[in-house]
Amino acid sequence: MKNIDLQNYQRFVTGVTSEPSMNTNALIDRLQELSEQHPNINVSLLLTSAIGMPAEIGEFSELPKKIVFQGKPITEETIFHMKRELGDVIFYWMNACTALGIDPQEVIDENVNKLSARYPGGFTVERSENRAEGDI
């Protein structure tokens, strides 16, 4: 097994990391700049939702992981727990919509439009793996 010089790698990572990621004052300046450039976007709330959603998805994902791989039973309690975690995901999703000034219904409608165009007639592996240009 090849030894990796972790201190060298740490220096490398530091060298390719943005200034706002490394420096609190640079982060504050960037947040202020974004707020001035985009006064209709709540950058603080957007950041809160961007951090909160994956954290809550992780909490939700922990339960199916334990059910599938560790033998945890599916009970009313585990279903209730997953329901509560999904509620937390929606909380942060709604914060993202609010931060961006987006109507949540428009997000759902756009998702339906995107998936209907991608999978006319239903899901296929072929269409999943070979998307049309511009299909994000």
* Judgement on whether residues 34 and 55 belong to the same structural domain of the protein: no
Query: Which residues, 6 or more positions from 113, have their beta carbon under 8 angstroms from its beta carbon?
Result: none
pTM of the shown model: 0.85
* Judgement on whether residues 45 and 90 belong to the same structural domain of the protein: yes
pLDDT digits (tens, 9 = 90+) for 87-130: 999 999 999 999 999 999 999 999 999 999 999 999 999 999 99
Say which amino acid occupies 5: D
* Judgement on whether residues 76 and 35 belong to the same structural domain of the protein: no
pLDDT digits (tens, 9 = 90+) for 51-81: 999 999 999 999 999 999 999 999 999 999 9
Q: What phi-psi label fits residue 116: left (phi over 0), alpha (psi between -120 and 50 degrees) or beta? A: alpha
Q: What percent of the chain has pLDDT above 70?
A: 99
Structural Rg of the chain based on CA atoms: 21
* Judgement on whether residues 34 and 58 belong to the same structural domain of the protein: no
Q: What phi-psi label fits residue 122: left (phi over 0), alpha (psi between -120 and 50 degrees) or beta? A: left
117 with 111: CB under 8 angstroms? no
* Judgement on whether residues 44 and 82 belong to the same structural domain of the protein: yes
31 with 44: CB under 8 angstroms? yes
* Judgement on whether residues 50 and 60 belong to the same structural domain of the protein: yes
* Judgement on whether residues 30 and 51 belong to the same structural domain of the protein: no
* Judgement on whether residues 11 and 64 belong to the same structural domain of the protein: no
Domain count, the chain: 3
Query: Which range marks the domain in which residue 71 is found?
Result: 40-102
* Judgement on whether residues 58 and 79 belong to the same structural domain of the protein: yes
